[in-house]
């Protein structure tokens, strides 16, 4: 654990010198950059990179985000804040329960095909209201029912036993596994790029108390 903390401190010191907006991102280290940003955020040392007028001018003509983040709409999980990133850094898709349909996957395809993004991270979180509504059962009004029905239809969620003592947490994880499978199974563009090693898909869970993102083991 100490080694991990030291690594992140090293990344912190190397990649974000206070007062600098420089982010030394390469295709190989984008996940490290995000996790280093999350380390800063979780330890109350955010540097708020890429928020300057200069940055606005730099990206006014075109964007070059380095990661796609698919996260929940929950107001407590804003990707730019929890990864300590700024303008033009992340291409973000947010829906309740980080659920995806054609429109959302199309947005991801745009980012990887036209913007050349090399990392997709699907970000779930503890106590996700959408997952909890499914776990708790009962009727949902209006189009909220569509959200519950979508979660209910996920094979990965259906494999979690109804009497599982940690059902809520396991359903959050299953929902993330579903999302990663969905990206590969429903998008030829994404699948091809992953097979060519031009694109990586990761999944993480955000801890609402600690502010930390833990990567989901496959
Ligand atoms: Zn949520």
73 CA → ligand 1 middle, Å:
6
118 CA → ligand 1 middle, Å:
25
56 CA → ligand 1 middle, Å:
30
Domain-embedded: residue 193: yes
Instruction: Give me the percent of the chain exceeding a pLDDT of 70.
Output: 87
The reported pLDDT for the residue numbered 138 is: 85
Domain-embedded: residue 90: yes
201 CA → ligand 1 middle, Å:
20
The reported pLDDT for the residue numbered 12 is: 41
130 CA → ligand 1 middle, Å:
6
176 CA → ligand 1 middle, Å:
11
58 CA → ligand 1 middle, Å:
33
Domain-embedded: residue 64: yes
Q: How far apart are CA 84 and CA 89, in angstroms?
A: 10
Per the structure, the complete domain to which residue 196 belongs is given by 50-215
Number of domains in the chain: 1
Task: Express each pLDDT in 41-71 by its tens digit.
Answer: 999 999 999 999 999 999 999 999 999 999 9
Predicted model pTM: 0.88
Domain-embedded: residue 10: no
Confidence bin at 25 (pLDDT 50/70/90): low
Domain-embedded: residue 134: yes
CATH number of the domain within which 113 lies: 3.40.1050.10
Task: Express each pLDDT in 151-198 by its tens digit.
Answer: 999 999 999 999 999 999 999 999 999 999 999 999 999 999 999 999
């Amino acid at each position: 654990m100490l080694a991990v903390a030291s690594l992140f401190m090293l990344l912190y010191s190397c990649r974000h010198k206070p007062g600098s907006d420089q982010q030394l991102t390469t295709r190989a280290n984008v996940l490290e950059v995000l996790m280093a940003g999350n380390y800063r955020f979780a330890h109350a040392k955010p540097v708020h990179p890429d928020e300057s007028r200069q940055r606005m001018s730099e990206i006014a003509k075109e964007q070059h985000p380095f990661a796609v983040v698919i996260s929940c709409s929950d107001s407590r999980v804003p990707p730019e804040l929890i990864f300590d990133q700024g303008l033009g850094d992340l291409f973000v898709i947010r829906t309740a329960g980080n659920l995806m349909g054609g429109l959302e996957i199309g947005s991801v395809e745009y980012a990887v095909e036209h913007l050349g993004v090399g990392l997709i991270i699907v970000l779930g979180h503890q106590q996700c209201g959408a997952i909890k509504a499914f776990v708790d059962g009962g009727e949902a009004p209006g189009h909220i029912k569509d959200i519950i029905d979508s979660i209910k239809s996920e094979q990965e969620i259906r494999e979690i036993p109804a009497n599982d003592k940690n059902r809520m947490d396991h359903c959050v994880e299953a929902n993330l596994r579903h999302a990663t499978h969905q990206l590969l199974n429903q998008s030829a563009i994404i699948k091809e790029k992953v097979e060519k090693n031009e694109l990586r898909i990761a999944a993480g869970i955000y801890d609402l108390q600690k502010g930390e993102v833990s990567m989901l083991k496959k």
